[in-house]
Structures are given as C-alpha cells and as structure tokens.
Amino acid sequence: MRSEGVAVLEALDEAIRIGREAKIPVEIWHLKVAGKPSWGRMPEIVAKIEEARKCGIEVGANTYAYPAWNNGLSAFVPPWAHDGGDQKMIERLKDPVTRKRIRSDMESAAGNWDNEWQEIPNADAVLISSVVNPQLLQLQGKTLAELAKPKNQEPIETLFDILIANRRAPRTTR
C-alpha cells in the first residue's frame, strides 16, 4: 500500500479499488497503522476490510505483533532530498541551508509523504542496528538520543551527521 501512516485509509481504499476493478484478491502485507499519529486506528482499518468483504471483494492481510521495524536512517529524510541518489542527499545534508530545509520538513506534521520522524515517539526509539562504515561500528546498539547527548546535540542533527559519516544509510530498528 502507498501508506501505512496517516494516509492508511486512503491507501486501503486504493488497494480495495484495484482489487475490485481488476477482479483479483487483495493481500495486504504487514497490515499496520504506523506512527504515533495513527495509533488506535486499527478498528477503522478492520471495519473497512470487513465492509469490502461484504461487498464481495476478497481481502486478506497479515500483521506482526511487535512494535518495531527496520529501515535505513535515510528513510527519515524527505523524498525530495533523495533526488539524484545517496551522494546528492549527502551533499544536501552538508549544505547548511538545505539541511535546515530538510530538518524543517521532518519536524513538520504537514506534507504529502510518510514522515517517519513524526511517527516515532522520540529519539530513544531509534536504535542503530548496523552501519556500513567500519569507523562507525561503535554506534551500533545505541539510540539516537544516547549518541546525541554527549555531543550536546539534538538527535535530528546526530541523525544527519551519521548519514554523512556512513555515506550510506545505516540500518535502524525502532
């Protein structure tokens, strides 16, 4: 589905519409309502699936029963900042003006993208699980909050610094 966050109902409508129009079953992989703005919305999702089934559309889903996911840190960065690939994103993070715009977009609840920075409860919820740059191995197993504190830095700035230092997106677990 196109969204598992704030636009999850619209994404579900789209998946159901595609199934209905194509006359094919719909399978939703890892059904969830991601991010704190969407917490508590699962009853709406289940009701929508049940409604589709009553209309004769075959809808199936699976879910996982743990409050974590694994993704690269660059998933926090807005899509426009990825244009041109990882190296361009790194260049944008190094530029103070563009870095400020990226941060502003991440800190804003508005927008037309799944803003994962807005979905986490806080920087303690972001655990660095692996890095590509061997010089950053000491970061593994620590949260963004833990890494930011000794630097007297805001976690979002620590995230940017890690992305730059790693040259590729380290894997994270939340």
pLDDT band at 136 (very low <50, low <70, confident <90, very high): very high
For residue range 125-134, what is the model confidence (pLDDT) as tens digits? 999 998 989 9
**Short-list 28, 54, 55, 56, CA closest to 42:** 28
- Whats the size of the chain, residue-wise? 174
Query: Residue 90: CA atoms inside 13 Å, Cβ hemisphere, count?
Result: 11
Q: Is 92 helix (H, G, I), strand (E, B) or coil?
A: helix
For residue range 10-43, what is the model confidence (pLDDT) as tens digits? 999 999 999 999 999 999 988 888 777 788 899 9
Q: Is 114 helix (H, G, I), strand (E, B) or coil?
A: coil
For residue range 86-109, what is the model confidence (pLDDT) as tens digits? 999 999 999 999 999 999 999 998
